[in-house]
Amino acid sequence: MNNSRIKFLNCKIIFYYTGWVIIGIALLMFIPLLTSLVFREWNPVFDFLISIAITTILGFLLILLGGITRDNKSHVQWKHGFIIAALSWMLLTALSAIPYLLSRNTNSILDACFDVMSGFTTTGLVLTQDLDHISLGLNMWRHVLTFVGGQGMVVLALSFLVKETSGAYKIYVGEAKDIGLVPNVKGTARIIWKISMVYLLVGTLALWIDGILIGLKPVSAFFHGLFMFASSWSTGGFAPNSQNIMYYHSFSFEVITIIFFILGSLNFGLHYAIWQGKRKEIAKNIETQSFFITATVASTFAVIALSKIYPNSITVFRRVIYNVLSAHTTTGFSNVYARQFALEWGDFGILIMVIVMLIGGSACSTAGGFKGLRVGVIFKSIVSDVRKLLSSERNVKVYKYHHIKDYVLEDGVVRSSALIIVCYMLTFAIGTAIGTYYGYPMADSAFEAASVTGNVGLSIGITAKAMPAMMKVYYIIAMYLGRLEFLSVFALIGYFIGGVKKLCTKIQK
C-alpha cells in the first residue's frame, strides 16, 4: 500500500507542474488573439478563443489533480523533472496545434502537430500550406512558438508562474537548460529572459529599419522584423512567407539575421558572463572555440567546393557561407530553394551540410545538434588520451577545459558527452534509413535526417505534405528527442513502461 501511495504522489507532482506549464501556453495564446483582433481577422480570433479555453480547462484540471503538491514541494526528484519536461512538451504540442487545425491551413492533425513540434524545437521545417495567405494571427502564433520553444517553455512557466522553486531546478534540467547562472533557478530563468528581451528589442528594431530601407511598408516591416528576429534568435528558421528569407531579396537583411542567429546559438551563460564584463570569455570558452573552428573549416571547404557554381564572391558569401552558418547554428533560414541543394550542390556540399547540422550550436542555447561543448570535450579527450599514451606513466597531467569556469576533463564528462553524441548519431542514422526505405536518395535522406535530428530546418525537398505519414511521425519524434537531448524522453518512456508493468502485475495477482 505504501507503493501506491508514493506512486499517487508522483503523479500529483507531475500533474501539478505540467498544469502550470499549460496555463503558461494559454496565456501566450493571448498574443496572437490580440494581433488578430487589432487587424480584424475574425476567424483566427475565434480559433484562438477556442484554443485558450481548452488549454485553460486542461491546465487547471491538472493543477487541481496535483493539489497536494502546493504545500509539499520538496518531494520533487530528478525523475519528476525529466518527466514533467517531456510530458509538458507532448501536451503542449497537441494543444498548440488547435489553432492550426481550426485555420484549415494544415492538411491533417499529423501535419499540424509536425508544425508545432517544428516550432517548439526551433527546427523550422514547415508543412503548413499556403503560408502567403495565412492570417497575421496564425503567423504570430508560429513565431511565438518558436521564440518560446527556444527559451524553453518549462523555463518560462517556472520563472513566472510557480512560486516555490526547490523542485524547479530538476524540471529545468529536464528541459536541457541546466546552467546555473545565479544560485537560484528563478533568478537564472529571469536572466535568460532579460537577455532575450533586450535582444528582441534591438533585433526587431534593426530588422524593422532595414525592412523599410529595402522597400517594405512600415507596418509590415515591423511584423517581418519581429518574426524574422524571433526566428533568428531562437535559431528556428520559420519565416512569414513561403520563400523563407528569399522573399526579401536583400543582402543587408541576410547579414543582420546572420549576426542574430549566431548570437542566438551561443550559450546563455556566455551572454551573461560577457554582460557581467568578462569579455575574454568569448575567446576562452570551449564552445565558441569549437564553433569558430568548425564553422570556419566547413565554410572554407564549402566555398572551395561550390565556387564553380556561383559567379562572384558576394554570391558565394550569400549562397554558400550563409547557408553553412544557417545549418551550423541550426537556424534553418535558406536563401536557396530546397531542391537546389539536391540538384546543384553535389554530394560533397551536401556532406559538409550534414556534418555541420549534426554538430550544431552551443549547449544551453536555442540551438540543436551534438553541441559544441560535447564536440570540444571529445576532441580534447582524444588529444589527452593520445598524450597519456605517449608520455611516461609517472607523469600525471590534469587536462582542463574552460566553459565559463575551468573544469577538469573528467571521465564522467567525456562519457556522458560521448553517450549523447551516440544517441544523436543513432537518431540520425535511423532517420536516414527511413528516408531511403521510402525511396528517397541517400544524400537527400541524410540531409533531411540531419536537419531534423539537429533541429535545423533546412530542407532538401523531402519534407512535403505528400511525405509518407511514417516519416512525418519519425521526424516529429526525432525533433522532440533532439531538442530535449534524449534523457527526459527516456525517463518519460521508462516511467510509463514501469507504470504499465506494475499495473500488469497487479492485475495478475
Partner 1 sequence: MHKNSKIISLIIVLINLFLFTLTCNASNIVEINQLIENTITYDNKEVTIQGELIGEALERDKYAWVNINDTTNAIGIWVKQEDIKQVQYYGDYKHKGDIVKVTGTFYRACPEHGGDTDIHCTKIEIVQKGNLVKEKVSHNKVITAAVLILIAILTLLVYFKLTNRPSKKHGNIN
Partner 2 sequence: MRAKNVIKDILGLFFELISISIYSAFLFLITWLLMR
- Residues interacting with partner 1, by CB under 8 A? 5, 8, 41-43, 46-47, 49-50, 52-54, 56-57, 60-61, 63-64, 67-68, 70-71, 102, 132-136, 214-217, 220, 241-243, 246-251, 309-312, 314-316, 318-319, 335-337, 339-340, 343-344
Closest CB 450 distance from partner 1, rounded Å: 22
Closest CB 181 distance from partner 2, rounded Å: 14
271 binds, among partner 1, partner 2, none (CB under 5 to 8 A by kind): partner 2
Please tell me the distance from the alpha carbon of residue 258 to that of residue 322, in angstroms, as a whole number.
7
Asked if 143 and 230 count as a contact pair (C-beta separation under 8 A), the reply is yes
Asked if 112 and 145 count as a contact pair (C-beta separation under 8 A), the reply is no
259 binds, among partner 1, partner 2, none (CB under 5 to 8 A by kind): partner 2
Of 253 and 486, CB closest to partner 1: 253
132 binds, among partner 1, partner 2, none (CB under 5 to 8 A by kind): partner 1
Asked if 414 and 381 count as a contact pair (C-beta separation under 8 A), the reply is yes
Give the containing element (helix H, strand E) for 400.
strand 400-403
Of 206 and 452, CB closest to partner 2: 206
299 binds, among partner 2, partner 1, none (CB under 5 to 8 A by kind): partner 2
Please tell me the distance from the alpha carbon of residue 441 to that of residue 487, in angstroms, as a whole number.
31
Please tell me the distance from the alpha carbon of residue 17 to that of residue 53, in angstroms, as a whole number.
19
Please tell me the distance from the alpha carbon of residue 81 to that of residue 162, in angstroms, as a whole number.
14
275 binds, among partner 2, partner 1, none (CB under 5 to 8 A by kind): partner 2
Please tell me the distance from the alpha carbon of residue 488 to that of residue 81, in angstroms, as a whole number.
8
- Interface residue list for partner 2 (CB under 8 A): 198-199, 202, 255, 258-259, 262-263, 271, 274-277, 279, 282, 292, 295-296, 299-300, 303-304, 307, 312-313, 316-317, 320-321, 325
DSSP result, 227-265: HHHHHHHTT----SSTTGGGGG--HHHHHHHHHHHHHHT
Structure-block grid coordinates of residue 295: 564553422
Closest Cα partner for 107 from 463, 465, 472? 465
Please tell me the distance from the alpha carbon of residue 108 to that of residue 348, in angstroms, as a whole number.
36
300 binds, among partner 1, partner 2, none (CB under 5 to 8 A by kind): partner 2
Reduced 3-state DSSP string for 362-390: CCCCCCCCCCHHHHHHHHHHHHHHHHHHH
- Owner of C-alpha cell 576532441: 379
339 binds, among partner 2, partner 1, none (CB under 5 to 8 A by kind): partner 1
Of 60 and 78, CB closest to partner 1: 60
Closest CB 408 distance from partner 1, rounded Å: 44
Closest CB 251 distance from partner 1, rounded Å: 5
386 binds, among partner 2, partner 1, none (CB under 5 to 8 A by kind): none
Closest CB 277 distance from partner 2, rounded Å: 6
Please tell me the distance from the alpha carbon of residue 381 to that of residue 81, in angstroms, as a whole number.
30
Please tell me the distance from the alpha carbon of residue 361 to that of residue 363, in angstroms, as a whole number.
7
Closest CB 261 distance from partner 2, rounded Å: 10
Structure-block grid coordinates of residue 154: 518549462
Of 95 and 321, CB closest to partner 2: 321
Of 3 and 312, CB closest to partner 2: 312
Closest Cα partner for 103 from 115, 92, 91, 121? 115
Of 92 and 367, CB closest to partner 1: 92
Closest CB 490 distance from partner 1, rounded Å: 30
Of 184 and 307, CB closest to partner 2: 307
Radius of gyration for the alpha carbons in the chain, expressed in angstroms and rounded: 23
